[in-house]
């Protein structure tokens, strides 16, 4: 895509590029390049480096500590961040619950929670899906019954990413069952993970990692002041959060970085074999992904412009979710094809400095989820049909 940068934007690009070159710690850079899972302290250390630079709240309003960047500056930052292969921020605080709190929360909630979210002093988890409510989220069963100065929460949330590290969790809970529509009677609550009655049970994924969990709530007391906005309006607030999550699911520049590495690999002769660039069928598939990726970049720029003008992402976030996750999976498949039998998943924990070939299958397995989380791609097509096509 051709984007005309002003002199100011070019200077900003150089500043961002230098920041990632000079401030990304070597141990974190090595872990990212080797595909080693970042430890929680490494992730938080990096986010706090961003915070000290003033670059943690990329899309936050300036009055809450945001960057006040233009759409082009956000484009530049995302691009340089991906090409430096720097860690993505953990989205649950900075990119999900933070925007809900500064949009719908009380002044007291903003003062209490936003500074720590921005500074990555607390780790947040997302409590949406349940054992019987995933893509059909409106069928959620977890209850929070009013009991004077608090609510009593009972139920289970599942697929809770990194919930084993969380200090707080934001949840959609049912506060009323006497409603005309299932989407009514749902509220948005902030729950301290240290509260008595909370149990976290690991779920081990196909790649052998403990990434997700079930979180059980047994008569957990939640102070009334931890209800965000109005009781029964949680579905409205949760949709705003999911639109931000779907927008973040595109990973356009991350995919471009991965595709660049794959193209470079294709041009090399590995272990005496002819380079994959000589395989016209392989290169045809690689070129097809590049075309899809370019169209995705256009959609993301339009969405970025909408966010920068103060709007929440609209139905276009569903386009980003669908196409972005399909591209991620297509790159995974082509990477496995390039690795051949070296992709056999015999080792779940690579060491720093070890090549990524042997874990390409593990990445493939893990990323089968990306077309499901944040609302399955089938659900996104229904949203597009209703809100864009008017069907």
Catalytic residues: 245
Which SS3 state, helix, strand or coil, does residue 301 take? Answer: helix
Q: Is 378 within 8 Å of 324 (Cβ atoms)?
A: no
Q: Where are the alpha helices (DSSP H) in 24-106?
A: 26-34, 40-53, 71-83, 91, 98-104
Provide the terminal-to-terminal Cα distance of the chain, rounded to the nearest Å: 32
Burial (Cβ within 10 Å: 0-12, 13-18, ≥19) of residue 185 = buried
Which H or E element spans position 254? Answer: helix 252-266
Q: Is 240 within 8 Å of 312 (Cβ atoms)?
A: yes
The Cα 59–Cα 85 span in angstroms is 20
The Cα 314–Cα 333 span in angstroms is 30
Q: What is the DSSP string of 264-281?
A: HHHTS--TTPPPGGG-HH
In 83-197, beta strands by DSSP E: 124-127, 143-146, 150-157, 168-174, 186-192
Nearest C-alpha neighbor of 142 from the set 133, 101, 205, 150: 133
């Amino acid at each position: 895509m051709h984007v005309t940068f002003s002199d100011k934007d070019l200077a900003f690009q150089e500043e961002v590029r230098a920041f990632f070159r000079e401030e990304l710690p070597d141990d974190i850079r090595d872990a990212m390049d080797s595909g080693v899972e970042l430890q929680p302290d490494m992730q938080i250390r990096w986010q706090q480096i961003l915070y000290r630079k003033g670059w943690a709240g990329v899309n936050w309003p300036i009055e809450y500590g945001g960057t006040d960047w233009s759409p082009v500056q956000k484009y530049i930052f995302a691009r340089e961040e991906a090409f430096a292969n720097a860690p993505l921020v953990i989205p649950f605080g900075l990119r999900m619950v933070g925007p809900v709190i500064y949009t719908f929360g009380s002044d007291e909630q903003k003062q209490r929670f936003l500074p720590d979210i921005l500074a990555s002093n607390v780790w947040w988890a997302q409590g949406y899906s349940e054992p019987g409510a995933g893509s059909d989220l409106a069928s959620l069963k977890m209850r929070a019954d009013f009991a004077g100065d608090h609510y009593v929460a009972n139920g289970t949330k599942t697929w809770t990413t990194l919930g084993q590290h969380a200090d707080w969790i934001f949840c959609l809970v049912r506060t009323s069952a006497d409603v005309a529509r299932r989407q009514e009677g749902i509220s948005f609550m902030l729950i301290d993970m240290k509260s008595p009655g909370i149990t976290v049970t690991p779920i081990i994924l196909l790649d052998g990692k403990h990434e997700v969990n079930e979180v059980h709530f047994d008569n957990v007391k939640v102070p009334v002041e931890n209800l965000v906005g109005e009781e029964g309006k949680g579905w409205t607030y949760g949709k705003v959060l999911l639109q931000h999550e779907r927008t973040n699911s595109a990973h356009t520049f991350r995919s471009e970085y991965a595709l660049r590495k794959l193209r470079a690999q294709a041009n090399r002769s590995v272990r005496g074999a002819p380079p994959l660039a000589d395989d016209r069928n392989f290169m045809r598939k690689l070129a097809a992904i590049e075309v899809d990726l370019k169209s995705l970049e256009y959609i993301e720029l339009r969405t970025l412009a909408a966010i920068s003008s103060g709007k929440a992402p609209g139905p276009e976030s569903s386009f980003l979710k669908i196409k972005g996750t399909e591209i991620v999976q297509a790159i995974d498949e082509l990477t496995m094809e390039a690795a051949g039998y070296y992709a056999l998943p015999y080792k779940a924990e690579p060491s720093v400095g070890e090549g990524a070939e042997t874990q390409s299958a593990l990445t493939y397995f893990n990323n089968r989820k990306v077309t499901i989380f944040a609302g399955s791609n089938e659900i996104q097509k229904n949203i597009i049909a209703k809100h864009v096509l008017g069907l």
